[in-house]
Amino acid sequence: MRGEKLSDAIVYDKLNLLKKDFFGYIERNTEKVDANLPVFYGHVISALENSFPDIPDESHDEFIDHITFEVLNASRNSSDVAYINKVIQNALRLKKRKDAETGVDIVVGLKLVKAGDYAHAIDFLKKYRNLDTKIGTTLAYCYYALSLREFKKTDTSEERQRPGEMELLARETMLSLARTPAPINQVKQLELDDPSFLEKIFWQMIFLGLEWFPSERWFIEAGLENAAVTHDTEMRKRLLDISSERFYNDIHFLRVMFYYYLDSRDAGGAAGVLNHLIRQYPDDLEPIYLGLKFSLLTKKKITYHSFRKLATSKGMPAPVIYLFDVAFNLLNREKVDAFNCIAEFEKEFPQLHYYITTLNYIADDFFSPDEMQVKKAKKALLDSIDQYCIEELRKISSLSKISR
């Protein structure tokens, strides 16, 4: 392969094939690998560098992390700290980046958590708690799991009511996450193994956090963000139910709830949230904007014109209203009215000519006989309008964030 320049997609596929080959070898020869770690890792680096001489350092190190996790996952010695340190040293020798130990530490820490060795896992994970929320919640879980053992020998009801040292550390870790939030699902090492055990830990600690600190909204925010990424509708609904009880008038949670009903095609639920938003924030444009979006879903003229009239009276930027006129007519297959709206939009706002050209192309596709083309046109239209309008509203709104 030397001298060839492969596309990123081909490199990714071939890396995966090489990784699977090594996984299979590890599974079939676990004891042999354990007994000859330097030799095994020598084969790994030789195969990697011969097959991918120009691989980026990040991808190179990630490959080593994947192999290391599999070695630990397969070995009978993975609970032996001396063995773990030996694996770490062999892996680190092959890595290129300055932060080479980060990936290995996280890999080892997660493996120890999965094996139930929480005390040693803490040593590997604690300095990375702010890299990713799930590392932070996993660290808190380690403390909490150890806390459950604190009272095993002297488990009187009076003693059990008082949190021990480990539970206090778990609480402190969760509160620290809430005070200085970390990104979620950003650290690639979290994807090395079946993520289900991390998901269970994450949700357990989020709900414990809500139990320990009932007024701390971050636990709900983090949970909703993760539920959106993992498409967990059950957890999304559960958290929204909690937010509706504890933060009834919070515009952020009301916004998320509105989109939940919208995604679920629950017009009644979405309308209820909208009415509440408009009552609570009568001088804010965002609820009206959401109402206009809602009317695109219902396609009912009386609903659309009601929100349009309200938008005009509250000072909604004119280009936003024009764009919704275009969208409403296109979605209702009113071809003449739609193109008349686009022409009027161009006349009123010549400075937006660049956008008019795009709208015309998208509008043509709305009346294509190809249903797939129509579907793509709808998505492109709604996404582009959303992006443009949100930016316009941000310029004039007192809200720090108007988004989905």
Digit-coded pLDDT (tens) for 94-120 = 998 888 788 888 888 988 898 899 999
Q: What is the DSSP letter of 36?
A: T
DSSP H helical ranges for 248-370: 251-263, 267-280, 286-298, 301-313, 318-331, 335-348, 353-366
At residue 194 the predicted structure's pLDDT band, cuts being 50, 70 and 90, is: low
Rounded-to-integer distance, Cα 335 and Cα 332, Å: 9
What is the per-residue burial (b if ≥16 Cβ within 10 Å, else e) of 58-69? eebbbbbbbbbb
Integer Cα distance of 185 and 167 in angstroms: 25
Q: What is the mean pLDDT of residues 284-294?
A: 93
pLDDT tens by residue, 25-41: 999 999 999 999 999 99
Range with top average pLDDT, 80-89, 205-214, 245-254: 205-214
> Residue 247 pLDDT > 80, yes or no?
yes
- Point out the least confidently predicted range of 60-69, 191-200, 228-237, 325-334: 191-200
Confidence of residue 371 (pLDDT cuts 50, 70, 90): very high
Say whether 203 sits in a helix, a strand or coil. helix
Tokens representing residue 21 in the block: 């080959």
> What pLDDT score does 78 carry?
79
- Binning pLDDT at 50, 70 and 90, where does residue 4 land? very low
Banded model confidence at residue 3, pLDDT cuts 50, 70, 90: very low
CA dist 48 and 271 (Å) reads 56
**E strand or H helix at 395:** helix 371-396
pLDDT higher for 397 or 257? 257
Cα 211 versus chain centre, distance = 23
Quick one: average pLDDT of 323-339? Answer: 94
Is the separation of the CB atoms in 293 and 393 below 8 Å? no
pLDDT above 80 (res 6): no
Is residue 284 within 8 A of residue 249, CB to CB? The reply is no
The CA-based dihedral angle spanning residues 346, 348, 353, 357, taken in that order and rounded to the nearest 10 degrees: -20
Query: Could you tell me the CA-to-CA distances from 142 to 115, 214, 326 in Å, in that order?
Result: 12, 22, 55
Predicted confidence (pLDDT) at residue 271 exceeds the cutoff of 80 = yes
Report the pLDDT value the prediction gives residue 81, as an integer from 0 to 100: 85
- HSE, CB side, 13 Å, CA atoms: give it for residue 11: 17
Report residue 87 as tokens.
């694996």
Give the pLDDT score at 104. Answer: 84
Average pLDDT over residues 234-255: 92
Neighbouring residues of 277: CB distance < 8 A, sequence distance ≥ 6: 251, 254, 255, 258, 286, 287, 290
